Structure 1
């Protein structure tokens, strides 16, 4: 009960300080408000940006290994000359892996070609992406078909001219009507639309998505465009099992089998690269950690100034209420009661400043954005209020100790 009374009195004194010296208090809390706003706004933007980038990269799949000619690189020197003469993964290697791998959950080979022209009567879609895939590609990466269906094995094996198109392609070529069963032409070849994928929306940094893409069987793609050493490069994607932590067993098996297929000797370097989505994830995480650190530094200076402002309020408050402190102590108030009274007041004032900063960040998230959706997470709200409370505690501890150690007789005589 005594603690509830202590908190109630502390809030009452804090509220009286706010009302009695509104302008002074607002100016003193401004530093905390700006500091929390700077930190939480940076964290909110970083979290939103990171989430949108990861969503944009979701097309590369989860728990997937990519066997390619070129390794992914994210910074540092890139010795391209070492990889230039490497052979491209091919359909023969894909079939060998598909037949013999034991630690996989699916194997697919695919090839991409950008800037394709899709035509249907008088309508056309420029700069579309065209992808040729084998049947198990839907096990490697989710193909969100909203209308129609995915390929059947016979269509892929027989290299039928069937296509699954993106939402933007469908709305452009077939406005106001269903695209299923319709025909379109690509490089003089006629295809029948069997499926339309769900709308994904705009991606960050112009990363590819399925909205502006058409997917056809790999055999159909190979008939249209040369694949292999002198043509469009292909990629073999291998999906890992959930029980293979880190996909280490799968990677060892893929590496050993690829070396055996290509006849590499024990001392020979790999003539292929095994790339992981984690490589891109780690690079993105490292970048955002640096940005987050910059947010702490920028906001830290403002919070430091705000902390001095809170401390100034508390010193003035102790000076103004010295007589009241003396009366409280003469009536039996313990030192810890006075200590916590001023400490709670300091924390309360600081949390008010932090709450205003968080409210400003929330207003920022209400601004419509075409590039990405900005949202304030509960974790960042808790972080902002927590930092405010810590700053309030540090700023108020010295004034609170001074107030609790006042001699009651001397305090009562003060004016």
Structure 2
């Protein structure tokens, strides 16, 4: 109890010292403020960018492997012209894998193209039209806000039905209900049976459901030429949750495709397997580099701020040497003097850190288009933690010197 009381008195002494030298206090905390601001601002920007970009790539799905001719990210040193000689995925391969794979939760087949969707005199150009199989909803998230997804009979019968995005719906039907209305795609009539949930703008407008339309795969092939020298379709396979890293699925998929395509053991694969994790990991490594740059930039500022606090604390010890002698002669313990100056250094650093965090928080209200800055609790705690450490490191030596002063010599210093 006495120990806590002494600590509290040390805190009061430290706060009083900071108030009595307000100008010096403000100048001392500027370095820490700039340093914490630099680090937390970079981390906030990186976190916000990462969240926004990964959201833009959410269409890739999670735990999904796609079969394509090209490798999306990385891959072996392979001549680009050989990629173009590879065969397209086929519908028969899709049905084969759907029946064959045992380590897959679902397999889907799809193809996409940009086109214009019309209703009366209204039209929406640049619509991302996708033709899908019924299992598409089992591989990817298909959020339907109004209406419904396709029935299996509609997919198998290649019915002319469509699900459209929010922007497409608002453009084609500004004052009416889209469900049940007929739209035209390349001259063919399609009945609208559903509206996708609004995704909103992302940093990269890639495959946004707001500007998309979806129809059965069979209906898509009536409008566009799919296959060799035409639109390239894609096979997507969703792995089991128990298959960590989808290793078993990938091995089974490679063996099944090689068997289906009649590849000899000595022949190389004529397909690429792309995981959504490839892109996410690449993005993560880029953001790690940016975060490292933030540490370097902010680190120099904090280092300068730390030296500033240490210098001020040495001056403070010099100025209050007489008071330290009086306190010791009245029975003050060494740790009481130590805590007094250590708390002063920590408070000084924390004030600078909190100020830097407040400035970063103010920046989150700036309008940066589709990029929304978010100051996370993790970054706030990080900023306060760094400030506390800088305060302790900067103040420990001056505080130790003050605690070890001889009371008689300290009083004579007046």
Q: What range describes the TM-score normalised by the shorter chain of this pair?
A: over 0.9
Instruction: Determine if the alignment matches structure 1 residue 187 to structure 2 residue 186.
Output: yes
Give unpaired runs (5+ residues) of structure 1.
none
**Distance of 2:227 and 2:51 partners within structure 1:** 36
The answer (yes or no) to whether the contact 1:43–1:292 under 8 Å persists in 2 is yes
Paired residue for 1:299? 298
State the SS of the aligned residue for 2:238: strand
Paired residue for 1:15? 15
Paired residue for 1:248? 247
Deviation of 1:374 after TM superposition, in Å, equals 1.1
**Distance of 2:198 and 2:13 partners within structure 1:** 56
The answer (yes or no) to whether the contact 2:104–2:249 under 8 Å persists in 1 is yes
Paired residue for 1:404? 403
The answer (yes or no) to whether the contact 2:162–2:191 under 8 Å persists in 1 is yes
**Distance of 2:152 and 2:178 partners within structure 1:** 22
Q: Which moved more, 1:31-40 or 1:363-372?
A: 363-372
**Distance of 2:67 and 2:73 partners within structure 1:** 14
Paired residue for 1:356? 355
Give unpaired runs (5+ residues) of structure 2.
none
**Distance of 1:47 and 1:64 partners within structure 2:** 24
Paired residue for 1:228? 227
Paired residue for 2:112? 112
The answer (yes or no) to whether the contact 2:67–2:234 under 8 Å persists in 1 is yes
Paired residue for 1:152? 151
State the SS of the aligned residue for 2:214: strand
**Distance of 1:412 and 1:142 partners within structure 2:** 76
Deviation of 1:177 after TM superposition, in Å, equals 1.8
**Distance of 1:301 and 1:75 partners within structure 2:** 38
**Distance of 2:76 and 2:237 partners within structure 1:** 27
Instruction: Determine if the alignment matches structure 1 residue 212 to structure 2 residue 220.
Output: no
**Distance of 1:44 and 1:325 partners within structure 2:** 43
Structure-1-length-normalised TM-score: 0.97
State the SS of the aligned residue for 1:394: helix
**Distance of 1:407 and 1:7 partners within structure 2:** 21
CA deviations 1:49-97 (Å, max 9, x no partner) are 1011111111110100101111112599663122110001010100100
Paired residue for 1:98? 98
Paired residue for 1:5? 5
The answer (yes or no) to whether the contact 2:18–2:344 under 8 Å persists in 1 is no
The answer (yes or no) to whether the contact 2:30–2:352 under 8 Å persists in 1 is yes
Paired residue for 1:53? 53
State the SS of the aligned residue for 2:85: coil
**Distance of 1:4 and 1:284 partners within structure 2:** 49
CA deviations 1:199-228 (Å, max 9, x no partner) are 001121232210000001111111111111
**Distance of 1:9 and 1:308 partners within structure 2:** 26
Instruction: Determine if the alignment matches structure 1 residue 329 to structure 2 residue 328.
Output: yes
User: What aligned pairs does 1:264-413 form with structure 2 within 5 A after superposition?
Assistant: 264-413=263-412
Q: Which moved more, 1:387-396 or 1:4-13?
A: 4-13
**Distance of 2:78 and 2:184 partners within structure 1:** 39
* Structure 1 residues 78 and 383, CA gap change in structure 2 (3 angstroms): farther
**Distance of 2:334 and 2:242 partners within structure 1:** 60
Number of residue-to-residue matches in the alignment: 414
Paired residue for 1:137? 136
Paired residue for 2:39? 39
* Structure 1 residues 279 and 187, CA gap change in structure 2 (3 angstroms): same
**Distance of 1:140 and 1:93 partners within structure 2:** 17
* Structure 1 residues 2 and 309, CA gap change in structure 2 (3 angstroms): farther
